[in-house]
Structure 1
Amino acid sequence: MYNLILPLHSLIRWLVLISLLVAIFRSYQGWLGRKAYSKFDENLRQSTVSIIHVQFVLGLWLYAVSPITTWFIHHFSEGVRLREIRFFGMEHITMMFIAVAIITVGSSKAKRQVTDRDKFRTQAIWLTIGLLVILSSIPWAFSPLVHRPWLRGF
């Protein structure tokens, strides 16, 4: 199962990033350009949050079956002193949980705003904060601390 979920989680991260970037771009464009909040914007908001939730569920599933996190849980006192093990056992999941919560709350708040400008503004601010948290917690291929390939094969 691990060999299927890990590449899927790696692939969907790109969908998360692309959908977030598009939603954020449209949000700032609508907010600063005083545009109307269209059905496309509403669908984009919903689909972005849905993709993020699918990725989060896959991440939780991956956490449950990963040999790294299993080792971390069973050897916690030693695992917290090892950078890579601690990152996947504790830091990554915590930060991603925070990011998902921020994005979900922001999406919900944006949906409840009355004016189009307020919808765009709320969405832009909350999604940007969520994206920054996500970007800080992805094990990028170029990271000197913890790195993984850009894309994993099945």
Structure 2
Amino acid sequence: MIKMLHSYWAYLVFLMMVIATVNALIKHFGKKEYEPIDFRIALFTLIVSHIQLLIGIVLWFTQDYFGESTIKEVMGNSALRSNAVEHPIAMLLAVAFITIGYSKHKKKLTSAGKIKPIAIFYTLALVLVLAKLPWNAWFNL
């Protein structure tokens, strides 16, 4: 059940990350004003990504990725390494980037200053997610 929740919640997280990132990039490069909707989009993205992280942590600790395998065997198997090591680390870093961008934007006083950290850090997070998302599993649900 946790794996299914993690899989389906990921669609919402991905959608919100794309919306927040594109919105921030358009506002930043278009020199547009920061508005309350921008705050809500960034906050909702932060919230759904943190929920996904918590679900992922529970999943990681409840799945038996390693079984009787040694670290050498896990690291030698590309599929197992991706699921047990690379994907969790990349997603943890992506959530960290989202958190940093959101935190930095709150401290800024100007409109341009508020949108720039969101544009930078949410873009970094989206790139990480795009790089380590298990695309083959996504289209088989």
Q: 1:44 aligns with which of 32, 41, 46?
A: 41
What pairs with 1:5-24 in structure 2 (closer than 5 Å)?
5-24=2-21
2:106/2:114 contact within 8 Å kept: yes
Q: 1:61 aligns with which of 34, 58, 62?
A: 58
**Paired residues, number:** 141
Q: 1:77 aligns with which of 49, 69, 72?
A: 72
What pairs with 1:100-119 in structure 2 (closer than 5 Å)?
100-119=95-114
Identify the range of structure 1 (26-35 vs 113-122) with the bigger mean alpha-carbon deviation.
26-35
Q: Equivalents in 2 of 1:79, 1:29: separation in Å?
A: 42
Q: Equivalents in 2 of 1:58, 1:26: separation in Å?
A: 26
How far the C-alpha of 1:111 sits from its partner, in A, is: 1.5
AA paired with 2:139? W
Deviations along 1:47-72, one digit per CA (max 9) or x if unpaired, are 100000000111111101113x2427
Which residue does the alignment assign to 2:123?
A: 128
| TM-score, L = length of structure 1 | 0.85
Q: Which runs of 5+ in 1 are unaligned?
A: 142-147
AA paired with 2:89? T
| TM-score, L = length of structure 2 | 0.92
Q: Does 1:140 align with 2:129?
A: no
Which aligned runs of 4 or more in structure 1 are off by greater than 3 angstroms? none
1:31/1:118 contact within 8 Å kept: no
1:64/1:70 contact within 8 Å kept: no
Over the matched positions of the two proteins, sequence identity in percent amounts to: 28
Deviations along 1:108-144, one digit per CA (max 9) or x if unpaired, are 1111111111211111111001100111111112xxx
Q: CA RMSD in A?
A: 1.5
Which residue does the alignment assign to 1:31?
A: 28
